[in-house]
Amino acid sequence: MNIDWFAIGAGSILLLYIVYRILLVLFNILGPYVFFQPIDLKKKAGASWAVVTGATDGIGKSYCFELARRGFNIYLVSRTESKLVQTKKDILLKHSDVEIRYATFDFTNPSPIDYQKLLSQLNAVNIGILINNVGMFFEYPECIHQVEGGLDTLANVAIVNILPPTLLSARILPQMVSRKAGVIVNIGSAAGAFPMAKWSVYSASKKYVSWLTATLRKEYGDQGILFQTITPLMVATKMAGNPNTSFFCPDSDSFAKSALNTIGNSSDTTGYITHQLEYEMMNLMPEFVLDRAVVRSSAQLKEAAMKKKEEKLLS
């Protein structure tokens, strides 16, 4: 009899756990993207300026356009002044009612002194939203000792992915704390959710981004500031090798609009409903199955990158 009751109890607990996991997966997929309404971002930000790093390409540029459409002034931060000037012109052509400023900064530069100079410029305005978007990947996935560019590339990937969200958050937070309002979005990657062979420093550094954001959420949880980690999968950008758009690979404009709508409704999400579906599927896979899938996709990415490199040399 005791054995029967134990079997029934264990079976009930297992069933409840399975139901819980199914409901959690459905909530993660449908909650931020279907059921919840976007929050009043202007009210939550508490100020009219949005700072975006990596602002002249891909996801960062699309965040700038979408935030300008929603009435925010934009402070663009990127490495190349000519691209910053052009991005400023492009935004103002569509959204002439906002103000645009820019600052040049090479995020492979780890100097705290140079960061202080940048932050002095940024803190001259009232920042309601900080989008820490700038990031760096290898030319293609590879074992750590064979990465193209060697130690320089490995160091730059770590510096670019880790220092900006750390140092910019640390020195922009004081004005948000004083207002008891503000939004900080750190763009990570789904690559940071799983240890991924041939993605080494990139995967580890994106894990840092998620961990840092979760820690800041605990530190400032009572200060009225929202912290969000966005962990996208494949988006059709230059950094991703300019893949064609598809069901699982949106363009950067669609992605940025979707991701902004999740602020305040999810503290850690992929930013796009089909990405969330893909992420939840990956999360349910046995590790050995996921590892094989990563190895296969990494090989395809390397092959595509090598082909483009060869075509460029021949042209």
Token readout for 178 is 């004083």
Question: Which three-class secondary structure state does DSSP give residue 115?
Answer: helix
Residue 230 pairs in a beta bridge with: 187, 269
Is beta strand 182-187 parallel, antiparallel or unpaired with respect to 100-104?
unpaired
Give me the residue label for tokens 């991005």.
87
195 dihedral zone (left: phi>0; alpha: psi -120 to 50; beta): beta
**Dihedral angle over CA of 195, 196, 200, 201, nearest 10:** -70
Instruction: Give the residue numbers marked as catalytic.
Output: 202
Distance CA 162, CA 135 (A): 9
Residue whose C-alpha is closest to residue 225's, from 275, 175, 290 = 175
Please enumerate in sequence order all residues whose Cβ is within 8 A of that of 56, keeping only pairs 6 or more positions apart, or say none: 76, 78, 80, 83, 84, 86, 87
3-state class percentages of the chain: helix first, strand second, coil last, to nearest 5: 60, 10, 30
Side-chain-side CA neighbours of residue 295 (13 Å): 6
Distance CA 65, CA 69 (A): 6
Please enumerate in sequence order all residues whose Cβ is within 8 A of that of 242, keeping only pairs 6 or more positions apart, or say none: 236
